[in-house]
Structure 1
């Protein structure tokens, strides 16, 4: 059995925290769970968005870099973030809402589900996907108090799509070291901890060309959830046996974390035990 429970959060760069807040709260309808600072650089603002309780697996976080240039997309990057909703009506609702914000939306399918594709104002790519009543964590059922009808709201993170030059290296790591199961879809290799739902999925796509250049809209890391400190110690011991160095366990105030870069992608392993003062 894997030590990983699923997604914990995904962390990105933004140039403008106020514009970022407007889009993620007023357009996507997420709750601003916490505005704090980067604990490695107290001059840098760190924003957390999620559901009403800030549940693990619903969280998008942003570091503000006012002088950031535009990201140049490429390979060796976390390329697309999945967001789950329930039903075609919710997809239609968000399609209209996002278009009214001046952002292009395209229709299609993703992993066999109806989907809408869009980029945020800083060119960070998303896929909004119909969950079709498949399995999600129990603690995701906490709607945000806003103008979006509860049945239409974003419920949490879905598939996270990674582009790498050598897909085999990433698939092998996720499958053989972290305990994911692999299956194939037209989008790429899907690594999952629960094939009854898409709330843990990582989609690995092999892509050549120039490596991504970080900037605004860049995904810095993908955080995976482990239960507690004991599980994080076990994850640390596992990574002691691997080739690259890891960060060691770091106290992130509301949870503990371990960082490891594998095949160009930064992973964080974060404890699901979040302190009571995380949600304001």
Structure 2
């Protein structure tokens, strides 16, 4: 009887489908000043079209100094009217480690005042560069400020270097050099998938379960060119793409670490707090992708 019982459990285990990893799209900055490679509002339209095609709502974290450009204002209006969440990414995109709490807090409020007119604005704040303070006093002062002003932390779980791939592509276009977009796309997708798998595995290792992920992208040319392919890739690999607002309901995003310096991916930060010795610092940066891109001529 015991053997039959164990066999039945084994059969049930085999027949139970694995829970699909879940990921949402978050897009930072909204700097629409660059015309290189694609006119800015066409770039915005391409990003929104990819999101609409895949029937998902993203979150856009806006650095409000860019709203001095009418194209950026139009882009954020289109995001909001399409039902995407608008979050606060400061007025000036300062690195908090370089500023006082008073300066940085004022910069958040300045951004809030510009973002409040957008219907889908929510008090979700994302630190520029994911840097949350290099001292205990600065870290905790900002955490108190955000809490007292009704903000949640718009944590990233899957950090990546899309900005660096974009920078390399734009530099080649600016110089008038020949560009193989297929090669850039393949590298981009490989990079994002590598980082997605890494942070998913790190979540399981650290928390004993996966989470609803938030992927960090930027409002740039590579997002416009490759977002549709990226969303297809996730689906083909068995991941479920979900709305950003849904992802931020995961309890992990209400957590914080006791690390100094504070910041990085929330998954990385919690792993660091638990003493994971395998982590690199910074978690993501251009140095990790440079050699391979050089070898590929990208």
Shared fold per TM-score greater than 0.5: no
TM-score grouping bracket, smaller chain normalisation: under 0.3
Question: Larger helix proportion, structure 1 or 2?
Answer: 2
TM-score, with normalisation over the residues of structure 1?
A: 0.25
